[in-house]
Structure 1
Amino acid sequence: MQILITGGAGFIGGHLAETFVGEGHSVTVFDNLDPYYDVGIKEKNIQAARNTADRTDGNYELVKGSVTDGETVTGLVSNADIVYHQAAQAGVRTSVDNPRKPHEVNVDGTLNILDAARNSDVERVVLASSSSVYGKPEYLPYDEDHPTNPVSPYGVSKLAAEQYARVYSEIYGLPTVSLRYFTVYGLRMRPNMAITNFVSRCINGKPPVIYGSGEQTRDFTYIDDIVRVNEQLLSDDSADGEILNVGSTDNIDIETLAAVVRDELARDLDIEYDEARTGDAEHTHADVSKANELLGYEPTVDIREGVTNFIDWYQKNRDWYEPLVLNS
């Protein structure tokens, strides 16, 4: 199968590329290698997929460019059987400082993908959305019928993108599935995430820093669970036209998360607190019953197991991963 993964050098996209190549598919990764975080991590994602291609019957190609380039997007999409649209301008706090960039990439870029797909023979577009679309909870856990009132420009851009995908499915008959990810973590994750920062500081004998009271809660979803549900959508049309939560069932508050990391690495450290950051949601908690009903989705890795996996991996890869993380 010919698979196009936009943002395929990123965290989730890189794991998808590595998995699909390992299964013998022909994968084209389209990524602009934006230095939103250190490009060295993205290069590791690329190399991991290439190494897998060398050991299997799969094929891997990297095309450098942006989803805002409609002409290039059209050419790539026209050669694909299925598109995994992972490319996005990430970062809630970054979007607060510059709201136009996530609109340009996440909304206009998505429209380029959808327009190209509806004019081709693409079997399905799988869109990466986000729990950030929900904003302030009226009730928890969030189901897909919960009101969407995002509290950041990033959340607004992801909501607009998934709604365009839904409308393109309804009006043009383009099979689309939007997956609302809930705080994905794991090996080769972005270095500016809470888990990474907690681990990095504790390994280096510095107390973990919590922004806000620590009472904020999150669903942390392990990368293997995310890969598995995307993998199923290679051939499963049960969720076409739908928007689905993809999270865990292991909600945890940030203070407890910091303590879990601290206790595993440096039990004598205190936990420090700083001012809350603008645009961060207070709580996220996924109701995944719809994804379970349509796709049989069941998260398999709880937060403590996932954190242990990440710490083990981190310690083995400190020589290249740790310098990319701020420990100040």
Structure 2
Amino acid sequence: MGNSIVVTGGAGFIGSYLVERFINDGHDVLCLDNFDNYYDPAIKRDNVTRFKNKENFTLLKGDILDRDMVHKALNGADCVFHLAAQAGVRASVKDPIKVHEINTMGTLNILQAALDCGVKRLVYASSSSIYGKVKYLPFDESHPRVPVSPYGLSKLMAEEYCRIFSEIYGLETVSLRYFTVYGPRMRPDLAISIFANRALQDLPLEIFGPGEKTRDFTYIDDVVCANALAMKCNRGVFNIGSGHRISVKELAELIIQLTGSRSKIVFREDARGDAQHTWANTDRAKVKLGWSSKVGIEEGLKRYIKWLTTRNSPGAKG
């Protein structure tokens, strides 16, 4: 017999994959999403349209800042996967109040409702952005957390609320610190999406700064697997990353190579709030969750580019 699961932000990139996994696993899934226009809401609607005829799927349009709506969504739930958030480091630099309200206060609303409604477990989508300034690499979960953007700070504050609700109130919480997730259906504002789309059109790839920043990119299938395991594990905080890193310049070059593109790389003024490096030590996830990354960056990019070219071909849909 399946559980009753709520996925906040379930119409988004990662959220829609979790909805799909849990539906297929036989759970009853409620997707809560406000279809915010940070990027085209039509993309999100398309993400969940595929589930509309599933008997064990419910779509509830609502905002996590609406306490009554949140209680309605969580009533009777066994487990909550909380992904609803204001994304975007650069967006948070422009509007820090909005990112604080949604990511921090919204998470507090979810936690309080989970406690009130008797939810057994909450799995929170945290971020590698909480680490910020590098003291050593790769980051383990004990690395000092000094965010360099309002987004990173908002995710850290929300994660700390998860810890407090676990330690004081007994709500079982698991925080998964994602390291730049990518794959089919990914957000259009992320570097891999922008680079790949431009490379396929032989357009220049623009890099902010000299391209020496490094990132640990995590393929979506690996992230879905981590969440499924987190439903059964002990409470705690876990890095979810590939355990490898690549510079932004190397990433652009690899995408040009894999697409057979004639694109050139151009360098622009550096952006405020971007972390210099991310790189995950995933030893704790291996030991406690039984999880490890399976898809490397080149294989993941090949899968994404194949999906992108198929979707963009004449007559393609979704």
**TM-score, L = length of structure 1:** 0.93
1:292-311 aligned at under 5 Å gives the runs 292-311=286-305
The offset of 1:318, in angstroms, is: 1.6
- Within 2, Cα distance between the matches of 1:118 and 1:78? 10
Aligned-pair identity in percent equals: 49
1:93 to 90, 93, 106: 90
State the 1:314 CA deviation: 0.2
RMSD: 1.7
1:102-141 mapped onto 2 (5 Å cutoff): 102-141=99-138
2:86–2:102 CA contact under 8 A, matched in 1? yes
Q: Secondary structure at the match of 2:36?
A: coil
Between the aligned partners of 1:309 and 1:175, the Cα distance in structure 2 is 35
The one of 201, 205, 209 equivalent to 2:206 is 209
Aligned to 2:40: 38
Deviations 1:246-292 (A, max 9, x none): 11122111111100100122344321111111111010000111111
Matched, 1:282 2:284: no
Q: Matches of residues 117-266 of structure 1 in structure 2 within 5 Å?
A: 117-234=114-231, 236-238=232-234, 240=235, 242-266=236-260
Match of 1:13 in 2: 15
Quote how far apart the aligned CAs of 1:49 are: 3.1
Contact in 2 for aligned 1:74/1:116 (Cα 8 Å): yes
Cα separation, 2, equivalents of 1:12 and 1:48: 15
Q: Name the SS for the 1:136 alignment partner.
A: coil
| CA displacement 1:94-151 (0-9 Å, x = unmatched) | 0001000111111111111111111222110000000000111010000111111100
Whole-angstrom CA distance in 1 between matches of 2:233 and 2:183: 28
Contact 1:5 1:27 in 2 (8 A): yes
Q: Secondary structure at the match of 2:73?
A: helix
Letter of the 1:152 counterpart? S
Unmatched 5+ stretches in structure 2: none
SS in 2 for 1:127: strand
**CA spacing shift, 1:50–1:23, aligned 2, 3 Å:** farther
Q: Displacement of 1:319 after TM fit? A: 6.0
Q: Post-superposition shift, 1:171? A: 0.4
Superposed CA offset, 1:211-243 (max 9, x none): 111111000000000000101223x132x1x11
Mapped to 1, the partners of 2:255 and 2:17 lie a distance apart of: 24
Amino acid at match of 1:244: F
- Between the aligned partners of 1:49 and 1:250, the Cα distance in structure 2 is 34
- Asked if structure 1 preserves the Cα contact closer than 8 Å seen for 2:60 and 2:73, the reply is no
1:72-87 to structure 2, matched below 5 A, reads 72-87=69-84
Matched letter for residue 302 of structure 1: G
Amino acid at match of 1:44: D
Task: Answer with 297-306 or 243-252: which moved more.
Answer: 243-252
Q: 1:205: how far off?
A: 1.3
Which residue identity is paired with 1:106? N
Is the Cα contact below 8 Å between 1:4 and 1:83 reproduced in 2?
yes
Q: Distance in 2 between matches of 1:256 and 1:237?
A: 36
Contact 2:139 2:279 in 1 (8 A): yes
Question: What SS does the corresponding residue of 2:51 show, helix, strand or coil?
Answer: helix
Amino acid corresponding to residue 166 of structure 2 in structure 1: S
- What's the secondary structure of 2:221's corresponding residue? helix
Cα separation, 1, equivalents of 2:19 and 2:52:
9
What secondary structure sits across from 2:280 in the alignment? Answer: coil
Uncovered stretches (5+) of structure 1, i.e. residues with no partner: 323-328
Return the alpha-carbon distance in structure 1 between the equivalents of residues 51 and 156 of structure 2. 30
Q: CA deviation at 1:23?
A: 1.4
Q: Secondary structure at the match of 2:15?
A: helix
